[in-house]
């Protein structure tokens, strides 16, 4: 039986089995348990607790409204993240997909202002508005 799709803020969440340590991109809490412990967006691949998926406010950057979202992003230039390539010396998790940033050097990007950490591939899906600048 196929999993149900939950549509919230443009995201298409589907229950998923997480095979590695993962953190919720909404509340930053650790997702654990048996079976399908979390929901993952089919578009931007963000992962959230089942209990958090209805509370997600940031719009998915993948889907039918891509052009509208790109236009909004361009208007928020003063509030955008300032990402820099970063080498992490201790295990660090992506604030978007919840997975660990892997590798020995230059594992991900860190915002100079608010401190969020993301994979390079996740940075294009991460909400543009920097909470530090809000």
Determine if the pTM surpasses 0.85: no
Written as six digits, the tokens of 110 are 């860190």
Over 60: is that where the pLDDT of 78 sits?
A: no
80 vs 111: CA distance, rounded Å: 10
Q: Is 74:59 a contact under the CB 8 Å cutoff?
A: no
- Assess whether pLDDT exceeds 80 at residue 133: no
Q: What beta strand segments (E) does 9-81 contain?
A: 11-16, 22-23, 30-31, 38-41, 47-49
Q: Which CATH number fits domain 66-123: 3.40.640.10, 3.40.190.80, 3.40.190.10, 3.30.60.20?
A: 3.30.60.20
Residue 72 host element (H or E): helix 66-75
pLDDT at 58 exceeding the cut of 90: no
Output the pLDDT for position 80: 87
- What CATH architecture is 5-55? 2-Layer Sandwich (3.30)
User: Which residues does residue 5 pair with via DSSP β-bridges, in sequence order?
Assistant: 14
pLDDT recorded at residue 75 = 45
Question: Which residue ranges does the chain devote to CATH 3.30.60.20?
Answer: 5-55, 66-123
- How much is the average pLDDT of 28-46? 90
In the predicted structure, residue 24 carries a pLDDT above the cut 90 = yes
Q: What is the mean pLDDT of the chain?
A: 85
**pLDDT of 63:** 63
In order of 16, 19, 65, the CA distances from 29 in angstroms are 17, 16, 29
> Given a cut of 60, is residue 31 above it in pLDDT?
yes
* pLDDT for 86: 95
- pLDDT at position 121, please? 94
Cα 133-81-12 angle, rounded to 5 deg: 110
Mean pLDDT of 34-51: 92
How many Å apart are CA 68 and CA 51, to the nearest integer? 29
């Amino acid at each position: 039986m196929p999993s149900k799709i939950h549509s919230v803020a443009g995201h298409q969440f589907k229950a998923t089995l997480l095979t590695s340590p993962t953190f919720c991109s909404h509340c930053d809490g650790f997702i654990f348990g048996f079976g399908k412990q979390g929901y993952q967006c089919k578009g931007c691949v963000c992962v959230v607790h089942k209990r958090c998926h209805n509370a997600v406010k940031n719009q998915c950057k993948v889907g039918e409204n891509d052009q509208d979202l790109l236009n909004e992003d361009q208007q928020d230039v003063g509030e955008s993240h300032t990402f820099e390539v970063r080498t992490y010396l201790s295990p660090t998790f992506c604030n978007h997909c919840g997975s660990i940033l892997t590798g020995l050097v230059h594992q991900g990007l860190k915002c100079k202002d608010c401190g969020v950490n993301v994979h390079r591939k996740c940075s294009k899906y991460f909400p543009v508005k920097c909470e530090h600048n809000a």
